[in-house]
């Protein structure tokens, strides 16, 4: 069985695959053209994908030999899961192992925005640290504030725990379904999306992204938020309309924003959001710890090994594919 790995991952996953006698195709060029990437896909049985390559109907038509795809990510929005399932192709992903690391970044962004950290760092670096001014660049405290979470799953739960423990924040959330564990352990309250917007002092997105969620946080949504509200997105950039977000922060409609994801990625260096004192942008580093990435590498390898043995993948985005194969 040939496994195409399009970019580097921690060695522990590669060792697992090799120890299970699986043949790895690893190009020496980390920046393949789309044409070269497609050629490698056409020669493989399984793809271990790192990055944002698209797997849609056109891809599956061009690569009819593909038997499984394993993503080096939790999110699977770049895959037409319905089409893959129809063709009997399981889609592996890497949940759980990056919950703490990604929630750490959301927690960090919330604090950085609330105290205008980027602005103050640049002031020091630029020689603008002047005498004490009691009204200069005031931030806001988070104690006792209300945290609203869109998508209170594994990562959102970790974020809520941190905010509850550190700042005694009250937790509200909007999900497809109730999270009874969060309601019991964190006294979290389920609310409508409209209530999430109007009641939250901080809104943090941790939901799975689908095309139907595109621009969910737009001008109309920001206008329903509190003027002191902090908007945090560590999920996918498609959730927010960046021009509307810029206008909302510039006009004081909301307090500020912290983003680990943008649309497009990478963000252009001249994006005016980067110039605002109460906005913090990070380059999609939610899972960027040695521990989380090693965990992702292990889970990805375990998915492939299970598939090679005709077993269900331990972490599968479309488990229904196994039902239709029975």
Query: Hey, which residues are catalytic here?
Result: 236, 265, 284
Report d(CA 107, CA 211) in Å as an integer. Answer: 26
The encoded tokens of residue 166 equal 């550190």
Q: Which residue, 42, 3, 46, 45, is CA-closest to 26?
A: 3
Measured CA to CA, the distance from residue 15 to residue 170 in angstroms comes to 45
Distance CA 224, CA 305 (A): 48
List the one residue out of 131, 84, 136, 132 whose CA is nearest residue 317. 84
Q: What is the number of other CB atoms lying within 10 angstroms of the CB of residue 21?
A: 8
Task: Give the dihedral sign, CA 188/189/192/193.
Answer: negative
> How far, in Å, CA of 156 to CA of 139, rounded?
24
Length of the chain equals: 326
How far, in Å, CA of 104 to CA of 219, rounded?
A: 28
**Closest by Cα among 37, 49, 56, 106 to 73:** 49
Both tokens of 109, joined, read 């962004």
Residue whose structure tokens are 């063709």: 87
Question: Do 79 and 69 form a contact (C-beta atoms < 8 A)?
Answer: yes
231 contact partners, CB below 8 Å, separation of at least 6: 203, 217, 222, 225, 240, 245, 248, 254, 256, 257, 258
> What Å distances lie between residue 296 and 67, 95, 301, CA to CA?
21, 8, 9
Rounded-to-integer distance, Cα 84 and Cα 67, Å:
10
């Amino acid at each position: 069985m040939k496994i195409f790995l399009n970019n580097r991952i921690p060695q522990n996953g590669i060792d697992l695959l090799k120890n299970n006698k699986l043949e790895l195709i690893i190009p020496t060029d980390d920046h393949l053209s789309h044409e070269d990437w497609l050629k490698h896909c056409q020669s493989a049985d399984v793809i271990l994908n790192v990055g944002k390559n698209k797997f849609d109907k056109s891809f599956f038509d061009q690569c009819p030999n593909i038997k499984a795809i394993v993503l080096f990510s939790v999110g699977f929005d770049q895959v037409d899961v319905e089409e893959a399932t129809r063709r009997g192709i399981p889609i592996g992903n890497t949940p759980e192992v990056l919950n703490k690391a990604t929630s750490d970044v959301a927690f960090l962004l919330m604090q950085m925005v609330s105290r205008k950290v980027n602005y103050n760092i640049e002031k020091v670096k630029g020689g603008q640290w002047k005498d004490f001014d009691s009204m200069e660049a005031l931030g806001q405290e988070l104690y006792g504030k209300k945290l609203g979470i869109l998508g209170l799953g594994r990562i959102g739960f970790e974020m809520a725990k941190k905010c509850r423990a550190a700042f005694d924040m009250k937790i509200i959330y909007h999900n497809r379904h109730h999270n009874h564990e969060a309601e019991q352990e964190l006294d979290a309250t389920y609310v409508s999306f409209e209530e999430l917007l109007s009641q939250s002092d901080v809104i943090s997105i941790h939901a799975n992204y689908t095309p139907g969620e595109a621009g969910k946080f737009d001008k109309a949504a920001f206008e329903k938020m509190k003027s002191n509200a902090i908007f945090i997105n560590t999920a996918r950039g498609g959730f927010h309309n960046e021009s509307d977000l810029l206008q909302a922060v510039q006009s004081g409609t909301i307090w500020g924003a912290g983003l680990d994801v943008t649309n497009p990625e990478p963000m252009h260096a001249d994006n005016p959001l980067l110039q605002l004192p109460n906005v913090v942008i990070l380059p999609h580093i939610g899972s960027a710890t040695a521990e989380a990435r090693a965990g992702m590498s292990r889970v990805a390898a375990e998915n492939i090994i299970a598939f090679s043995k005709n077993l269900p993948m331990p972490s599968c985005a479309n488990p229904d594919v196994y039902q239709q194969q029975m």
